Amino acid sequence: MSIALITGASSGIGAVYARRFAARGYNLVLVARAVDRLNDLAAVLRGTYGVEVEIIPADLVDPAQIEVVSKRLRSEPPIEVLVNNAGAGLLGGFATVDPAEMERLLRLNVVAPTLLVSAVVGGMIARGKGAIINVGSVLGLLPEYAPGIYAATKSYVLTMSQSLAAEVSSKGVYVQAVLPAATRTEIYERAGGDISKIPNVMEVDDLVDAALVGFDRKELVTIPPVPDVEAWDAFEQARGVLAQGFSNSQPAARYRA
């Protein structure tokens, strides 16, 4: 049976991914800090779906604990699907947030998924198959809507996914970036926010179910709330048009006045 490793699996998006992959017949490796929640979820999944569930308690801010997860990603039996879901939010801008809190967010939202991808992708390439799901945010495309570094960390998740896909798609490894908008998870409460003040919040089950439709279609970027895929296609086309000017050896005329 195939194995999916899911980070941030104790609640929210990660827990729903765990249930959905278990329903598809995947054995699971669940990673999170909340051991009691992980054990409760594992018991339900084993009883309901008859799958094997391995638990790895880990705080992915800690390099030593990231290495524990990385070691599992490099070992046997192989991980066929990595869901890089663990992440956090941080309220406040550059002038107000404690630099130590910014560093912690960078370690969780940027460093951890990067190292976990690095740990798993070599084996996937060698086997000629595998899938990596990186959970980002629409704020990665709208950084001016979110003070501070949170949007920047999610922009990184998107660009990492795009760069990774360009590198490994031809080698049998599928990469998907999932960009949720406002979704009903604990991230707001943990960051000190109030989700009741946010309009048009998507339910977690709806978000993951939509993301898995994109997964089955082998989309590179899945944005569940966007109604018209043409909007994303136009964005990508505009990016390509912009890129046509990058190879000019001279500054554009407007900079030579």
pLDDT of 189 above 80: no
Residue 217, both tokens? 């279609």
pLDDT confidence band for 198 (50 / 70 / 90):
confident
pLDDT of 176 above 70: yes
pLDDT of 243 above 80: yes
pTM of the model: 0.93
Residue 243 in domain: no
Q: What is the CATH number of the domain that holds 90?
A: 3.40.50.720
**Active site includes 150?**
yes
Q: What is the pLDDT of residue 10?
A: 94
Looking at residues 20-36, what average pLDDT do you find? 97
Provide the domain count of the chain.
1
Residue 238 in domain: no
pLDDT of 150 above 70: yes
Q: Which of the residue ranges 20-29, 54-63, 118-127, 143-152 would you say has the lowest mean pLDDT?
A: 143-152
pLDDT confidence band for 191 (50 / 70 / 90):
low
Chain position carrying tokens 């080698």 = 171
Residue 199 in domain: yes
Q: What is the pLDDT of residue 192?
A: 66
Residue 239 in domain: no
Looking at residues 55-64, what average pLDDT do you find? 98
pLDDT of 140 above 70: yes
Residue 205 in domain: yes
Looking at residues 212-216, what average pLDDT do you find? 98
Looking at residues 110-126, what average pLDDT do you find? 98
Q: Which of the residue ranges 38-47, 151-160, 191-200, 219-228 would you say has the lowest mean pLDDT?
A: 191-200
150, 156, 174, 188: the catalytic one is 150
Q: What is the pLDDT of residue 185?
A: 74
Residue 30 in domain: yes
pLDDT confidence band for 194 (50 / 70 / 90):
low
Q: What is the mean pLDDT of the chain?
A: 95
Q: Which of the residue ranges 23-27, 186-190, 221-225 would you say has the lowest mean pLDDT?
A: 186-190
Residue 248 in domain: no
Residue 148 in domain: yes
Range of 75's domain?
3-230
